[in-house]
Amino acid sequence: MRSLDWAVVVAYLAYVIWDGIRMTKHSGNVEGYFLANRSLPWWAVGLSVMATQLSAITLVGTTGQAYSDGMRFIQFYYGLPLAMIILCITAVPFFYRANVYTAYEYLERRFDAKVRSLTSFFFLISRGLGVGVIIAAPSVILSIVLGWHEVTTIFVIGLSTTIYTMVGGVQAVTWTDVKQMFVIFFGLSVCMFVIISQFPSGVSFADGLTLAGATGKLTTVSLSFDLKEKYTLWSGMIGGLFLFLSYFGCDQSQVQRFLTAKSVSEGRTSLLMSAFLKIPMQFMILLVGVLVFVFYQFTAPPMIFNQVEVGKVAQTAQYQTLKGEFDTAHHQREQAAEHFLKDRTDATRQEYLAADKAFNASRKNAVDYVKSATKNESFNDVNYVFPTFVVQNMPMGVVGLIIAAIFAAAMSSISAELNALATATTIDFYRRHFKKDGTDRQYVFFGRIATFVWGIFACFVATYATNIGSLIEVVNKFGSFFYGSLLGVFVLAFAVKRARARGAFFGLLFGISSVWVASHFTDIEFLWFNVIGCLVTVVSGYLISLTDRGGIDVVDV
Amino acid sequence: MKHTTKPEEPPVEMPDAWWYKVYFAVIVTTVVVIGLLQAFTYYFSS
Q: What is the pLDDT of residue A469?
A: 55
Q: How many CB atoms lie within 10 A of CB A107?
A: 29
pLDDT at A204 over 60: yes
Interface mutation target, options B2, B26, B31, B46, chain A, most CBs of A under 10 Å = B26
User: From the list A71, A219, A263, which residue is nearest B13 (CB)?
Assistant: A263
Q: How many CB pairs under 8 A join A and B?
A: 89
Interface mutation target, options B9, B16, B19, chain A, most CBs of A under 10 Å = B19
Are A213 and B5 inside 8 Å of each other by CB? no
Interface mutation target, options A88, A218, A233, A346, chain B, most CBs of B under 10 Å = A218
- CB-hemisphere CA count at 13 Å for A246? 32
Categorize the per-residue pLDDT at A555 as very low, low, confident or very high, splitting at 50, 70 and 90. Answer: very low
Categorize the per-residue pLDDT at A466 as very low, low, confident or very high, splitting at 50, 70 and 90. Answer: low
- CB-hemisphere CA count at 13 Å for A527? 25
State the DSSP H helix or E strand holding residue A47, giving kind and residue range, or none if neither. helix A42-53
Are A219 and B37 inside 8 Å of each other by CB? no
Tell me which chain B residue has its CA closest to the CA of residue A85.
Answer: B23
The H-assigned helical ranges of A343-397 are 346-373, 385-393
Are B26 and A262 inside 8 Å of each other by CB? no
Across the strands, what pairs with A261? A40
Categorize the per-residue pLDDT at A556 as very low, low, confident or very high, splitting at 50, 70 and 90. Answer: very low
Are A264 and B13 inside 8 Å of each other by CB? yes
The yes/no answer to whether this complex scores an ipTM above 0.85 is: no
Q: What is the pLDDT of residue B9?
A: 65
Residue A423 per-residue DSSP state:
H
Dist CA A168 CA A444 (whole Å): 11
| Chain B residue numbers touching A71 (CB-CB < 8 A) | 41
- The distance of B40 to chain A (nearest Cα, Å) reads 8
Are A218 and B41 inside 8 Å of each other by CB? yes
Dist CA A291 CA A195 (whole Å): 7
Mean pLDDT of chain A: 87
- CB-hemisphere CA count at 13 Å for A464? 8
pLDDT, tens digit (0-9, with 9 covering 90-100), for B10-38: 667 778 888 999 999 999 999 999 999 99
User: From the list B11, B34, B44, which residue is nearest A78 (CB)?
Assistant: B34
Tell me which chain B residue has its CA closest to the CA of residue A214.
Answer: B45
Question: DSSP 3-state assignment of A386?
Answer: helix
- The distance of B6 to chain A (nearest Cα, Å) reads 5
Q: What is the pLDDT of residue B3?
A: 54
Q: What is the pLDDT of residue A553?
A: 46
A120 CB contacts (<8 Å, ≥6 apart)? A102, A104, A252, A424, A428, A429
**In 3D, which of A18, A362, A411, A343 has the Cα closest to residue A183?**
A411
Categorize the per-residue pLDDT at A557 as very low, low, confident or very high, splitting at 50, 70 and 90. Answer: very low
Output helix, strand, coil percentages for chain A, rounded to the nearest 5: 80, 0, 20
Mean pLDDT is lowest, of A13-22, A86-95, A321-330, for A13-22
Are A213 and B29 inside 8 Å of each other by CB? no
Are A220 and B26 inside 8 Å of each other by CB? no
pLDDT, tens digit (0-9, with 9 covering 90-100), for A485-504: 988 999 999 888 888 999 99
- The distance of B45 to chain A (nearest Cα, Å) reads 4
Q: What is the pLDDT of residue A21?
A: 85
Q: Does A93 contact chain B (CB < 8 Å)?
A: no
pLDDT, tens digit (0-9, with 9 covering 90-100), for A205-262: 999 999 999 998 998 888 877 777 778 888 888 888 888 888 888 889 889 998 999 9
Q: What is the pLDDT of residue A474?
A: 66
